Amino acid sequence: MMELPVVGQEQGGCSSSGCGSNSDQLSHLPENIRDKVKDHPCYSEEAHHHYARMHVAVAPACNIQCHYCNRKYDCANESRPGVVSELLTPDQAVKKVMAVAANIPQMTVLGIAGPGDPLANPERTFETFRQLTEKAPDIKLCVSTNGLSLPDQVEELCKHNIDHVTITINCVDPEVGAKIYPWIFWNNRRIKGRKGAKILIEQQQKGLEMLTERGILVKVNSVMIPGVNDEHLEEVSKVVKAKGAFLHNVMPLIAEAEHGTFFGVMGQRGPTHDELQTLQDKCAGDMNMMRHCRQCRADAVGMLGEDRGDEFTMDKVEMMDIDYEAAMQKRADYQASIEATRDAQKNNTGESFIALSSIGVRKKETRPVLMAIATTGGGVINQHFGHAKEFLIYEASPTDVRFIGHRKVDLYCTGGDTCGDAETTLQKIIRTLDGCEAVLCSKIGYEPWEQLEQAGIQPNGEHAMEPIEQAVAAVYAEMIENGVLDTPKENHELQASA
Ligand code: CLF
Ligand code: SF4
């Protein structure tokens, strides 16, 4: 009997990025690299279920203009790069990091990502890193840049033991670049159009090479802009991979007129879920892909997908009385318990695949299924449907279960008297979950259950507290056994809505 692969043994772009599995996808990496990524919520998809990151907004200036950015715009409901609420000095930033470290023991990474470009503000950025290396050596340091001044800063980055650098590379062709970057500020001059884009691209590529030569892990972020660089990003992926980038994160453009960005005002659309996934899959042939990015604010705090920034405004931080010694012990204990959970989950993952593979051998041609998962973290299904602000999307097939992204939704259950609105909100959620055939959560009310079912999405609350991939595999096996997948998906939806 042919054995089907257990999750994580599949080959492909996601395997070493950590995308797609609770099993040990990092196992093939050399130990020194594995150590650098295993607790980093952005560099390892599996780690993002367990560990948190925070950003400190110490870098106000930027040396380029992107058509998707307006740094003057500041809205508490925003969730996109280049938006910030509270600019900090390096001293304030360090205080804030220590306060968060004491209160969120799973916070393992401190990133500087704005609100401008961290390397266009080298004094503020490196002073923050210098103090943190001294005061919080257990926290990994991370930086994200547009790359224009990167080659000049590589040695300084090395001095501060920074193992993770993100470069946003949207193109390797200046013609494409001229449509994204109206100007750059270079050698005290504003350089516009193609000429500016060419310099930016050269600096990005040079910086990438210098970092990888020095063993620093480079993640490349690319914003997918339909009609502008979408068809070009496969080429970008190939080029950056050839130069040693560790991970590629293709993110959707977020552009709304009210943001006041050029693209927003001009009505440039972002990609659909399907367009994004298709491009990520194409790039994955050449590159490890990140698919769990939440396009964080420059002052984000907490697990990816949650923002606890309001708990740590500077006025609140100043009032906190923290016993750092006790806090550091608490961090160590908490992280040890996370590791025990992760180990247990890795050991468990294979079990459901034994069941799945015995069915899959018979039904090798069975179509894949998308499932939406409600979780607050920990790698398990532990959230009430009505409390979910986002759903993780997994694809189950006869050969594996893989994470493919997340979808944000409005909260269905807001409590109080707002339930009059619930029907509309529920309809929006159902639209957002388009393409999914099951939703797995810890609990769900009668009304949403009924409406989801009518829309062809089967609610399932039977796998509460189970590891996500194990549960997805089990539900997929049940669907095969019950003949649900014998009906083509389209017909199934038609029947459901009839
Ligand atoms: Fe921050 Fe970026 Fe470091 Fe992560 S975020 S500087 S690598 S610690 Fe992560 Fe946020 Fe996506 Fe960035 S989810 S926007 S990829
Ligand atoms: Fe905005 Fe960042 Fe672009 Fe600068 S590099 S314009 S801060 S998105």
Q: What is the CATH number of the domain that holds 435?
A: 3.30.420.130
The pLDDT value given to residue 363 = 58
Handedness of CA 487, 488, 491, 493 (dihedral sign): positive
- pLDDT at position 435, please? 92
State residue 490's pLDDT score.
Answer: 57
Does a structural domain hold residue 3?
A: no
C-beta 65 within 6 A of ligand 2: yes
Structurally, how many domains does the chain consist of? 2
Please report, for the domain that includes residue 68, its CATH number: 3.20.20.70
What radius of gyration, in Å, describes the C-alpha atoms of the chain? 23
Report which listed range, 171-180, 419-428, 463-472, is most confident: 171-180
Q: How confident is the model at residue 354, as a pLDDT?
A: 56
Ligand 2 contacts CB of residue 349 (under 6 A)? no
pLDDT reported for residue 361: 47
- Taking alpha carbons only, the member of 7, 8, 19 closest to residue 289 is 19
Mean predicted lDDT score pLDDT of the chain: 85
Q: Which residue has the higher pLDDT, 416 or 185?
A: 185
Predicted pLDDT at 23: 46
In a domain, 268, yes or no: yes
Is 71 touching ligand 2 by the criterion CB < 6 Å?
Answer: yes
336-355 CB burial, b ≥16 within 10 A, e <16: eebeeebeebbeebbebbeb
Out of 4-8, 235-239, 431-435, give the one with best mean pLDDT: 235-239
- List residues bridging with 145 in a β-sheet: 167
- Give yes or no for residue 183 having a pLDDT over 80: yes
Q: 95 with 172, same domain?
A: yes
Question: Residues 115, 198: one domain?
Answer: yes
* Tens-digit pLDDT profile for residues 361-400: 455 678 899 999 999 999 999 999 999 999 999 999 888 8
Same domain for 133 and 230: yes
Q: Give 256 or 287, the one with higher predicted confidence.
A: 256
Domain boundary among 317, 337, 370: 317
Q: What is the rounded CA–CA span in Å between residue 179 and residue 228?
A: 7
Within a domain: 131: yes
2-45 per-position pLDDT tens digit? 222 222 222 222 223 333 344 456 667 778 888 888 999 999 99
Residues 40 and 167 in one domain: yes
491 pLDDT above the threshold of 50: no
- Asked if residue 305 is part of any domain, the answer here is yes
Q: For residue 269, what are the domain limits?
A: 22-317
Instruction: Give distance in angstroms: CA of 437 to centre of ligand 2.
Output: 38
The atom number, within ligand 2, closest to the CA of 116 reads 7
Answer yes or no: do 435 and 297 share one domain.
no
pTM recorded for the entire structure: 0.85
27 within a domain of the structure (yes/no): yes
Question: Within this chain, do residues 361 and 296 fall inside the same structural domain, yes or no?
Answer: no
Residue 372 Cβ inside 6 Å of ligand 1? The answer reads no
For 279, residues 6+ apart whose C-beta sits below 8 A from its C-beta are 224, 230, 233, 234, 250, 271
pLDDT at 297 over 90: no
Which of 7-21, 222-236, 312-326: highest mean pLDDT?
Answer: 222-236
Check whether residue 73 and residue 212 sit in a common domain: yes
pLDDT band at 166 (very low <50, low <70, confident <90, very high): very high
Q: Is the pLDDT of residue 310 over 80?
A: yes
- Structure confidence by residue, pLDDT tens digits, 472-487: 999 998 888 888 887 7
- Where is the domain boundary, 302, 317, 332? 317
Greatest mean pLDDT among 323-327, 344-348, 452-456: 452-456
Residues 209 and 104 in one domain: yes
- β partners of residue 192: 183
Ligand 1 within 6 A of 167 CB?
no
Ligand 1 contact, 293 CB (< 6 A): yes
Stretch 206-219: mean pLDDT: 96
Strand order, beta sheet including 64-65? 64-65, 183-186, 189-192
Q: Report yes or no on 110 lying in a domain.
A: yes
Question: Is the Cβ atom of 249 under 6 angstroms away from ligand 1?
Answer: yes
- 480 residue type, one letter: I
Through-space distance between the first and last CA atoms of the chain, rounded to whole angstroms: 41
Please give the average per-residue pLDDT across 141-148, as a whole number.
96
Sign of the four-CA dihedral 358, 364, 367, 370: positive
Calculate how far, in angstroms, residue 42's C-alpha sits from the geometric centre of ligand 1: 6
Are 71 and 201 contained in the same domain?
Answer: yes
Residue 332 maps to a domain? no
CA distance 54 to 299: 7
Closest CA to 126 of 138, 143, 145: 143
Q: Are residues 112 and 161 in the same domain?
A: yes
Residue 16 lies in a domain: no
Do residues 96 and 196 both lie within one domain?
yes
- Picking from 77-91, 312-326, 376-390, 462-476, which range would have the lowest pLDDT averaged per residue? 77-91
Of the listed ligands, the closest to the CA of 223 is 2
- pLDDT tens per residue, range 239-249: 999 999 999 99
Same-domain check for residues 136 and 269: yes
pLDDT at 488 over 90: no
